[in-house]
Structure 1
């Protein structure tokens, strides 16, 4: 099982907070540090220091880390024009020496769009699909050739399609639990299909749908990585589990039901159950970004049993 760390900086984190966690992630041997792409805190609480832009942050982390992979889960297609996003991601990939992965989604949080003056169209799946075609098309256009695209939502004319990412292909993550469109897009464009915070009984059926979509277009289903993101709340004992649950405003029984919560032995069992459902990568959502000891515990007491 590949274990990655996933954070929600919009809930209250500076760049320095994220850098500290990314460095600890790298030092402990987790394979990646991922962050959300949001511009407004969700729920009550201290709004400071305010949001940080995901790709500006990842550019900084790219220069201040050396081995850990970096990415978004997920960038909203509403936030950036696809041509500009292609440039940003390719540049950060170069800055990292080829360690970047792009998670891309339709966008869903209307309030943050209103708060920062970003259009939030009612129908977002069409633009999202066009963005996928443009990103992969630009990155896949041979150097010296031009890329054009005439869609309903975006038009590109004679783009030099530069710069290119270091990685070819650059890993592209498409997520969601949709039964028809999401599996089809994952099969066509993605290197990884992710389910973020799914009901646990829904995980295996969605994996089967994505695999079937691959087979329908003649793609080997084993080409894809199948992953989930689940909130983490681990503790050496029940008291520590309860303390960490309180710190993120959650209840232990609910976290056990919907996330990965409990003692290290319970976390290992939970990961084994996910593996039985076809999952080979898990994003551990760490909501208390300053609790670096949380990562230490998982690295010492969980990681050796699942690798």
Structure 2
């Protein structure tokens, strides 16, 4: 498969809009990053499905994922827009399928629909969603994945599960181009999540951004695919990293000063990886150094990388450096 790259837009969740006072200007900064990616070699722009900030809850802005998805689809012309990933507990699956199909049409067929089980307990309870233990949450997620998959493809869907029941909801229009909306599943659980990827997903995101983890998880996914007769090669395999490319020989602290804003180096690092799986790397280095790390990820078996660049709301230079000096090397 062709190697492709996506970039996270600064949405506020990781305290990445705090240096901009006006909320309208904050939203425009998010849009400006998406439009800059639209003019470059990036395949996609991604949003987090979270309501307020990490690593701690603050009064800082965080823009809602699906409203922002629709806005970015209308404000761009080429890139796809996705969520990494939609939290299953926040929207009923039939409603999510309807929202996704509408957004897909609004963007001329450029939507990726990401879906995950959800993990941020404090946020669930803050917004009135009942938090359930892992087994029940995963069971609901499994039902939702099947439902969304079917509603993207079938005209009549009757479903009676333990968590969701629907009776032939009308999901029209389904698509902008006659093909199902691509479904991405986020997570790397070997017993439930990767089994769902094998059966239902067009793509997966394994998180972590570590070659040894990628190899292990992809081997499990391959076994699940073999068990049901799914072609492993038809699934896009992605992971995510935080990265900040700097000029060769540049001092990292000085080079990241504008991106850090009010944060010191330790806080900058913390905010860059907040919300990621444990031990997810945050790479500050030259384009050559980051390219070497990325090469190891592709060698481990991924074909799609989603990058979070801290501070990109205030300075597009590292976005352009990544696009001009790193992405071409992967091809």
> 3-state DSSP class of the match of 2:97?
helix
CA shift in 2, pair 1:228/1:210, >3 Å: same
Matched, 1:182 2:182: no
8 Å contact kept, 1:104–1:173: yes
8 Å contact kept, 1:200–1:258: no
Structure 2, unmatched stretches of 5+, are 18-25, 261-266, 274-278
Give 1:294's aligned residue.
Answer: 318
Q: Describe how 1:247-266 pairs up with structure 2 within 5 A.
A: 247=260, 249-250=268-269, 258-266=281-289
Give 1:125's aligned residue.
Answer: 138
CA shift in 2, pair 1:188/1:226, >3 Å: same
TM-aligned CA deviation for residue 240 of structure 1: 5.1
CA shift in 2, pair 1:283/1:98, >3 Å: same
CA shift in 2, pair 1:141/1:79, >3 Å: same
Structure 1, unmatched stretches of 5+, are none
Larger CA deviation: 238-247 vs 31-40: 238-247
CA shift in 2, pair 1:83/1:259, >3 Å: same
> 3-state DSSP class of the match of 1:34?
strand
TM-aligned CA deviation for residue 114 of structure 1: 2.0
Matched, 1:273 2:296: yes
> 3-state DSSP class of the match of 2:172?
coil
Give the Cα–Cα distance (whole angstroms) in 1 for the partners of residues 190 and 200 of structure 2.
Answer: 16
Matched, 1:222 2:233: yes
Matched, 1:5 2:7: yes
Give 1:139's aligned residue.
Answer: 152
RMSD: 2.2
- Could you report, residue by residue, the CA deviation over 1:242-288 in whole angstroms, capped at 9, with x for unpaired residues? 3438826228xx9x982443100111111211111111110011232
> 3-state DSSP class of the match of 1:250?
helix
> 3-state DSSP class of the match of 1:204?
helix
1:154 is aligned, of 145, 164, 172, to 164
Moved over 6 A (4+): none
Matched, 1:35 2:38: no
Give the Cα–Cα distance (whole angstroms) in 1 for the partners of residues 40 and 141 of structure 2.
Answer: 35
TM-aligned CA deviation for residue 134 of structure 1: 1.0
Matched, 1:23 2:35: yes
> 3-state DSSP class of the match of 1:78?
helix
TM-score, normalised to structure 2, is 0.85
